Amino acid sequence: MGTPALQPITIYRARKILTMNPAQPVATHVAVRGGRILAVGTDEQVSAWPGARRDDRYADQVLMPGLVEGHCHLYEGVVWLYVYVGFYDRRGPDGMVWPGLKTVDAVVARLVEAEARLEPGRHLVAWGFDPIYLGTSRLTVQDLDKVPGGRGVIVLHASVHLMNANSRALAMAGIDRDTDIEGISRFPNGEPSGELREFPAMFPVMRMIGNPFRMLGMTAQCLENFSRVALASGVTTATDLINELPDEGIETLARVTRGDDFPLRIVPAASGMLFSRDVQGCLTKLERLKQSNHDKMHLGPVKLVVDGSIQGFTARVLWPGYYNGAPNGIWIVPPDDLADIVEQYHRAGIQLHIHTNGDEATEVTLNALERALTLYPRWDHRHTLQHCQMASPAQFRRIARLGLCVNLFANHIFYWGDAHMEMTMGPDRANRMDSCATAQRMGIPFAIHSDAPITPLAPLFTAWCAVNRRTASGRVLGESERISVADALRAITLGAAYTLRMDDRIGSIEVAKFADFCVLDSDPSQAAPEALKDVAIAGTMVGGHAFEAPHAA
């Protein structure tokens, strides 16, 4: 490519450029050299660089920084190898829309159809199910045993914190009435119902089927699937916010992402769960694999999971508990262990991303982080609470005092807000869930996310959720927690980049940053709040390479 001084310069003209740089919020031209932004401003300003080639392909479109998805998972590219059985319609990487299923019978019918097409010797795996939409109906072993073929049938819930299995799969995994593992749901007679809650209970089945949702995400085919979904949504940087660090997988990820034709930067977070209390083992492996890092793959942070899913009733909640009287949830990491694990990673200089759904999990995590920061003060650590859905105002004040970031699961408001109002949290706590405005008022750096494939990867929809706070039924949850369109756009660009410690490279259109742009047909900053999710995405640019969206997001 030659030295930077000899690299060609291209000046792109757009109808409008939203920079996310408050010192220069809008522009009309941007100059790119060597995959980075050389200049941004008016035609006259960027033309100060001599010898530039002009490109008017975006003259009628709007550019903004490439969207940053700060919490999603590469197995968004894996799930489409399996059978979708979720409640809402869902678009796959090929553009096909899978209709949502409204009853258990409809779920079983789709599984029967899929089984007839499946080659012998394979388990039937499905994903996206959530019984909370079906009233009192729960999927049971009797339902799944209606699927013929004699093979294992496994249905992963939308939250990925629960699954269902048929009797064949339970038997193959060695789960029966005598199995002593927390999270195995049972009928009154003591026999397993087929519903398995949280990772210890699911592990025997996952081990049996090879845990495809985690490992296959770094195959070339699934990375291509993932990148197509991201491109259609305007995303140029995405996380894999829990990665088991398999050597072969990281090697493939590094190779595939390095290609100029791959339209995405990936930030994998090492799974602290896989290493349990062997923090040094995780640190050693992470340090070795970081040698593979390049501009489009960035290993560095570590992910911990403290509790489970609110709608799955496995999140840990404070008094008065679950609104419908369900028992409290499950600790993924016991509080005493968490304090020691957090201290070790913090002391080693690692940035932690910590999953806390329930407010009790948030409280325990804040205790652990405050202890670590007291013992080992550290400036600009940027430890980030992920989801953090039920945090109270008092907890947000602690978050601000400790210098933490939050990445709030705004999509939950639409997909599960009604259930949280009526079943899990009740009105008061549901109205404060995913409190973007509170975080903003308290000066807490924040992002918003989809947790794809838990919900679809589509940051403009996530921004719409934070701006409007409307549930699927049209109810507004916590009007005072709404944020402006401008603030939501910042949360899916520079806000998310900050939580990933990458705001020096991505998240805004500024000199020396990567030339990563989202190309839109209209100006989202001028969209009516209720129309934000409908702004059409035409494509992206990543490091100066242009990509056309495969379909409307």
- Give the CATH number, domain containing residue 260: 3.20.20.140
Question: In sequence order, what are the residues at sequence separation of 6 or more whose Cβ sits closer than 8 angstroms to the Cβ of residue 537?
Answer: 232, 233, 234, 460, 518, 519, 520, 521, 549, 552, 553
- The CATH number of the domain where 44 resides is what? 2.30.40.10
Residue 524 domain flag: no
**Residue where the block lists tokens 């939409």:** 133
Residue 328 domain flag: yes
Q: Do 123 and 24 belong together in one domain? A: no
Q: Do 400 and 425 belong together in one domain? A: yes
Q: Do 48 and 95 belong together in one domain? A: no
For the chain, the residue count is: 553
- Contact in structure between 54 and 11 (CB atoms under 8 Å): yes
Q: What is the pLDDT of residue 5?
A: 54
Q: Do 39 and 100 belong together in one domain? A: no
Q: Is 531 left (phi over 0), alpha (psi -120 to 50) or beta?
A: alpha
Residue 178 domain flag: yes
From 192, 210, 228, give the residue that closes a domain.
Answer: 210
The span from the CA of 34 to the CA of 193, in Å, is 58
Residue 553 domain flag: no
Residue 364 domain flag: yes
pLDDT tens digits along 424-448: 999 999 999 999 999 999 999 999 9
Q: Do 181 and 226 belong together in one domain? A: no
Q: What are the beta bridge partners of residue 154?
A: 125, 165
From 210, 240, 261, give the residue that closes a domain.
Answer: 210
- Contact in structure between 515 and 32 (CB atoms under 8 Å): yes
DSSP string covering 245-269, please?
Answer: --HHHHHHHHHHHHSTT---EEEEE
CA 243-244-245 angle, 5° bins:
90
Residue 157 domain flag: yes
Listed residue (165, 173, 257, 162) closest to 208, CA to CA: 173
Q: What is the pLDDT of residue 209?
A: 85
Listed residue (173, 122, 180) closest to 151, CA to CA: 122
Q: Do 265 and 338 belong together in one domain? A: yes
Q: Do 365 and 443 belong together in one domain? A: yes
Tokens of 290: 């970081």
Q: Do 312 and 407 belong together in one domain? A: yes
Residue 79 domain flag: yes
Q: Is 19 left (phi over 0), alpha (psi -120 to 50) or beta?
A: alpha
DSSP string covering 135-157, please?
Answer: TT----HHHHTTS-SSS-EEEEE
Q: What is the pLDDT of residue 341?
A: 97
From 210, 227, 253, give the residue that closes a domain.
Answer: 210
Q: Do 175 and 226 belong together in one domain? A: no
- The CATH number of the domain where 184 resides is what? 3.10.310.70
Exposure string over 108-142, b if 16+ CB within 10 A, otherwise e: bebbeebbeeeeeeebbbbbbbbbbbbeeeebbbe
The span from the CA of 54 to the CA of 60, in Å, is 15
Q: Do 495 and 392 belong together in one domain? A: yes
Number of structural domains in the chain: 3
Residue stretches of the chain with pLDDT short of 50: 1-2, 552-553
Q: Do 436 and 487 belong together in one domain? A: yes
Domain housing 104: 75-210
pLDDT tens digits along 294-324: 999 999 999 999 999 999 999 999 999 999 9
Q: Do 390 and 498 belong together in one domain? A: yes
DSSP string covering 26-89, please?
Answer: EEEEEEEETTEEEEEESHHHHTTSTT-EEE-TTTTSEEEEPEEESS--GGGTTGGGSEE--SS-
Residue 330 domain flag: yes
Please give the C-alpha separations between residue 123 and each of 15, 294, 496, in angstroms, as whole numbers: 52, 37, 38
